[in-house]
C-alpha cells in the first residue's frame, strides 16, 4: 500500500485523529525540516505527517525550508504527498470555506531555494512540470469531496505569492487577468521539489478569505482564523477518505 505523507499548512500543525507511533527527527543535506515527522495511524492507515510551518506555527511562508521538508519525507518512506494549503479566493466561486483541488499553478515567488539541481552538480537536469499535480491523487481528493457532499471545485489555478504580507487590490487584479483562481504562499517550490524527487503530489486548498478587492471590507486575521476553525474539520474528513480509498 502507498505510504502517504500529509503536509499540514496554517491551521493544521497537528493532525487530530492521528495515533502517533513515533516522531522522526531527521537532518538532511539541506538542513533541518520544519518539524519532526510524525508517523502513526490515521483513518486506519499508516501515514506520515509534517507541519509545514513548524509546531508551534513559527516559520513564515518565505522562510519554510521546503527542500529539507520534502527530502526528509522521502527519507522517512513517503511515496506520495497530500498537501493542505490555506488560500485566498479570487474567482467568484472561491468563497470562504470553499475547497479547491487545483490543477495548475503560477509561481510568483522569488529568492527561495527552489531546486535540488543546483550548486556542484554533474549535469543540468530539467523536469517536466506541464501538469504540476498528480492526476490520480487529484481524482482521489475529488472523489472524497464528492462523497462527502462539500462545496468544492475540481479545478483551479493556484497563484503562489511570496508573502508574508497579503496582496494589494492591484496585484489581485493582475493575478485574475493572469487566469488565477486562488492565492497562496506555500504552493511553490513545494510542488516542484516533489516532482524532482519523483513523489506524486496533490493539493487540497481551503479558502479562508476573499482576496483583496473581492469583498467590501478589509481582510482580518479574525476572519481567516474563523474560516480555518470551521473548515479544517472538513479537510480532515477528506484526507481520511483518501487514505482508505
Residue ranges for the binding site? Answer: 10, 52-53, 185-186, 209-211
Binding positions for substrate are 185, 209-211
Cβ partners under 8 Å of residue 49, min gap 6: 5, 6, 8, 15, 18, 37, 38, 39, 40, 42
Residues 161, 167: Cα–Cα separation, whole Å = 8
Binding positions for phosphate are 10, 52-53, 186
What is the CB-side half-sphere exposure of residue 38 using CA atoms within 13 A?
Answer: 22
Amino acid at each position: 500500500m502507498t505510504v502517504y505523507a500529509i503536509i499540514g499548512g496554517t491551521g493544521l500543525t497537528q493532525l487530530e485523529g492521528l495515533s502517533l507511533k513515533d516522531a522522526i527527527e531527521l537532518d538532511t543535506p539541506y538542513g533541518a525540516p520544519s518539524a519532526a515527522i510524525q508517523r502513526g495511524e490515521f483513518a486506519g492507515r499508516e501515514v506520515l505527517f509534517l507541519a509545514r510551518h513548524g509546531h508551534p506555527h513559527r516559520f513564515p511562508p518565505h522562510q519554510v525550508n521546503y527542500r529539507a521538508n520534502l527530502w526528509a519525507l522521502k527519507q522517512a518512506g513517503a511515496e506520495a504527498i497530500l498537501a493542505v494549503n490555506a488560500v485566498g479566493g479570487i474567482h467568484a466561486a472561491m468563497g470562504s470555506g470553499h475547497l479547491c483541488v487545483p490543477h495548475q499553478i503560477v509561481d510568483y515567488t522569488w529568492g527561495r531555494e527552489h531546486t535540488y539541481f543546483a550548486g556542484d552538480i554533474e549535469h543540468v537536469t530539467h523536469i517536466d512540470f506541464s501538469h504540476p499535480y498528480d492526476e490520480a491523487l487529484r481524482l482521489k481528493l475529488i472523489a472524497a469531496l464528492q462523497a462527502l457532499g462539500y462545496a468544492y471545485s475540481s479545478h483551479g489555478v493556484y497563484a503562489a505569492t511570496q508573502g508574508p504580507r497579503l496582496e494589494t487590490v492591484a496585484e489581485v487584479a493582475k493575478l485574475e487577468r493572469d487566469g488565477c483562481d486562488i492565492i497562496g504562499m506555500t504552493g511553490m517550490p513545494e510542488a516542484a521539489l516533489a516532482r524532482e524527487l519523483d513523489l506524486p503530489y496533490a493539493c487540497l486548498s481551503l479558502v479562508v478569505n476573499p482576496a483583496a478587492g473581492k469583498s467590501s471590507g478589509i481582510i482580518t486575521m479574525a476572519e481567516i482564523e474563523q474560516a480555518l476553525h470551521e473548515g479544517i474539520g472538513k479537510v480532515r474528513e477528506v484526507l481520511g477518505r483518501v487514505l482508505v480509498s
